[in-house]
Amino acid sequence: MTSNWDTEVRSPSRLSAVERSGLVGIAPEDPFDRLIELAVALIGVPRGVIALVDAERTTAMSSVGFPEGQPLFAPIDWSFCRFVVGSGRPFVVEDANKDPRTTGDPAIEAFAAVSWAGYPLEDDDGEVLGTFCLMDSSPHEWTAKDLHVLATLAMAASTEIALRRLRRDLGHTSKS
C-alpha cells in the first residue's frame, strides 16, 4: 500500500534533484551548522536538524542537541520529514502523541520527537530536497514568531544550497 506522502518522496525528478544537489554524503559544514544552531537558540528547543531525504532514508547534514555517536539517519518511515517532502509544505506538531497524523510514529521514541516543526529545503528549481526542522521531547506550542524564524532560516539554508550548485556549475570550489 502506498501512503499519501510516498509518491512525492520517491518522485524520480525529486530524487534526481537530491543527487544533483551535491549534498549526498557530505559531512556537517559550518554554514549549515550555524543556521541550525541559530534556530535552536532563537526558538529555545533542545534539538534541530537540517536533513536530506532520499527514497529510503533521512540523513542529517547538520544537527544540534543529539547525543554523541547517535546515528544521524533514519528510515523514511521513522521521520516526520516525509510529511514535509511529501507535501512540499511545512509540517508542525505540538504533541505527536496526541496528533492523529503522528500518534504511534516510531520517530517519537527514536528521536524523542514529541513536538516537531519542519520546513522544506528547496533547490533553485523548487524541488524539495529535505527539511529544516526543530524538535522537543515534550509538547511545545509553536508561536507565529517561532514559525517565521524557522521559515526564514529554512530559506537561508535553501539559498546556501542553490549557491553551492551555482558555484559547482560554474566550476568553482566551495569554501565555507
Residues 110-136: what's their mean pLDDT?
94
Residue 49's domain comprises 6-169
Tell me what pLDDT residue 122 has.
Answer: 95
Q: Are 62 and 32 in contact (CB under 8 A)?
A: yes
* Max avg pLDDT among 12-21, 38-47, 157-166: 38-47
Residues 45-66: what's their mean pLDDT?
91
CATH number (domain holding residue 78): 3.30.450.40
On whether residue 81 sits in a domain, the answer given is yes
- CB within 8 Å of 47: residues ≥ 6 apart: 40, 63, 64, 65, 66, 111, 112, 134, 135, 136
Residue 28 pLDDT > 90, yes or no? no
On whether residue 75 sits in a domain, the answer given is yes
Query: The C-alpha cell of 166 is what?
Result: 551555482
Among 100, 110, 47, 103, which Cα is nearest to 78's? 110
Residues 6-22: what's their mean pLDDT?
85
